[in-house]
Amino acid sequence: MTTSFDSKLPHLGASIFTEMSLMASQHQAINLSQGFPEFDTPAYLKNAINEAISEGKNQYCPSSGLPEFLQQIGELVQRCYIKDEARRLDPLKTITVTSGATEALMVAIQTLVRPGDEVIVFDPAYDAYEPGVELAGGRCRHIAMNAPDYAIDWGQVTAVINDKTRAIVINSPHNPTGTLLSSADMKALQRLVLAHDLYVISDEVYEHMTFDGERHESVLAYPELFERAFVVASFGKTFHCTGWKMGYCVAPEGLTDEFRKIHQYATFCTFTPAQFAITEMLKAHPQHIDELSDFYQQKRDVLVAALKPSRFEVLPSKGTYFLLLDYSAVSDMNDVEFSHWLTKEVGVAVIPLSPFYQADVLDEYHQKHKVVRLCFAKNDETLLQAAEILCQL
């Protein structure tokens, strides 16, 4: 922009996902960069949304979501995470349907963060958190997690907490590393949140994709933690329909009331036909969700096996549809240069990890770490084709 417009987010440009996907299409590279499925949403769901539209279910619905949809989401949450029969969330008062997890994250951040507040985020961090915090007048305190285990050092978190700290953002299963928070992590988080009167924004969009028998630790399973939390989920990930932008936020009643005040002016309500369609899908095909981990584990295994003869070191992926590769044995380039080269010259598009870190630690990061992210939500042929090329390096 050539005018003197005073930008609220002056340092932001196109995201690394946009950049790498554009480069992939310009160079006709196999696109393992942006995280969306190559396969279609289930036929049942496509029919259901067509029906909803044909039947004229095309007008505004209640701002918080269709009551029947909220009930179905409530059942899902209850079945997956709330073992204690006596503990029942009222879906009409605690769940809000949002336009993707992205809206839920933005609204949760605007609900919580006041000017001057600090929010703790763990790098590599998904890129949607910091702009929201900045727009609310707050600032992020970044804590780095590093290869190979990308674990949170809770001692470091304790050291960063001060009287401005308002919230901690967690993301498990984690994009981009594919790691999971353990129950010990959740207990450590709960101790800090309760001791310092903090809040949690828990980004759980990959909740139904965990591997090797490991289970997702949801904030919803920890009643005291949930009392101070916004739990964010995405049907785009679960039902291979990322372009529908269908998500939701679960929070205790008082927090939901505040969340809904902002949600109603961010968008009012979320795409009505998709709410009808997903309601039907949840009722008719609950097994889709139960089978999702096996579905993605098989894809991970295809890719990992095909990369075995390569010079890349494959880091463990315990959840999500992402896999990290350490390319130290292949190249000395930094990860951004390497990803550009791989896309333009070799024909496989990947995502560098450094853009997920705080900008002022990048020089040090580049000296120490050579890691890129691959998305394996692709057909097996695509994965095998990409691996064959990578094995030649």
Ligand X SMILES: Cc1ncc(COP(=O)(O)O)c(C=O)c1O
Positions that interact with ligand X (CB under 6 A): 35, 100-102, 126, 128, 171, 175, 203, 205, 234, 236, 242, 245, 247
User: 69: closest CA among 260, 194, 235, 216?
Assistant: 235
Scanning the structure block, which residue is given the tokens 């989401």?
A: 73
CB-nearer residue toward ligand X: 242 or 310: 242
Q: How far is the CB of 345 from ligand X (least distance, A)?
A: 27
Contacts of 242 (CB under 8 A, 6+ apart): 36, 37, 234, 236
Q: Under DSSP, is residue 277 helix (H, G, I), strand (E, B) or coil?
A: helix
Q: How far is the CB of 98 from ligand X (least distance, A)?
A: 8
Give residue number: closest CB to ligand X.
100
Q: Where are the alpha helices (DSSP H) in the chain?
A: 16-26, 43-54, 67-81, 91-94, 100-112, 129-135, 154-160, 183-196, 223-226, 235-238, 253-266, 272-284, 287-290, 292-307, 335-341, 362-368, 380-391
Q: How far is the CB of 317 from ligand X (least distance, A)?
A: 14
CB-nearer residue toward ligand X: 346 or 374: 374
Angle between helix 67-81 and 272-284 (nearest 10): 40
CB-nearer residue toward ligand X: 231 or 346: 231
CB-nearer residue toward ligand X: 111 or 242: 242
CB-nearer residue toward ligand X: 346 or 356: 356
CB-nearer residue toward ligand X: 150 or 346: 150
Scanning the structure block, which residue is given the tokens 């990992």?
A: 304
CB-nearer residue toward ligand X: 91 or 247: 247
Q: How far is the CB of 236 from ligand X (least distance, A)?
A: 4
User: What is the 8-class DSSP label of residue 210?
Assistant: B
CB-nearer residue toward ligand X: 205 or 307: 205
Q: Under DSSP, is residue 220 helix (H, G, I), strand (E, B) or coil?
A: helix
Q: Cα angle vertex 285, ends 102, 89, to 5°?
A: 60
Alpha-carbon distances of 100 from 115, 140, 242, 274, 390, rounded to whole Å: 26, 23, 8, 12, 33
Do you find a cis peptide bond into 148, omega within 30 degrees of 0?
A: yes
Q: 292 and 209 in contact (C-beta within 8 Å)?
A: yes
Q: Look at the chain and count its residues.
A: 393
Contacts of 130 (CB under 8 A, 6+ apart): 121, 140
Do you find a cis peptide bond into 124, omega within 30 degrees of 0?
A: yes
First to last CA, the chain: 41
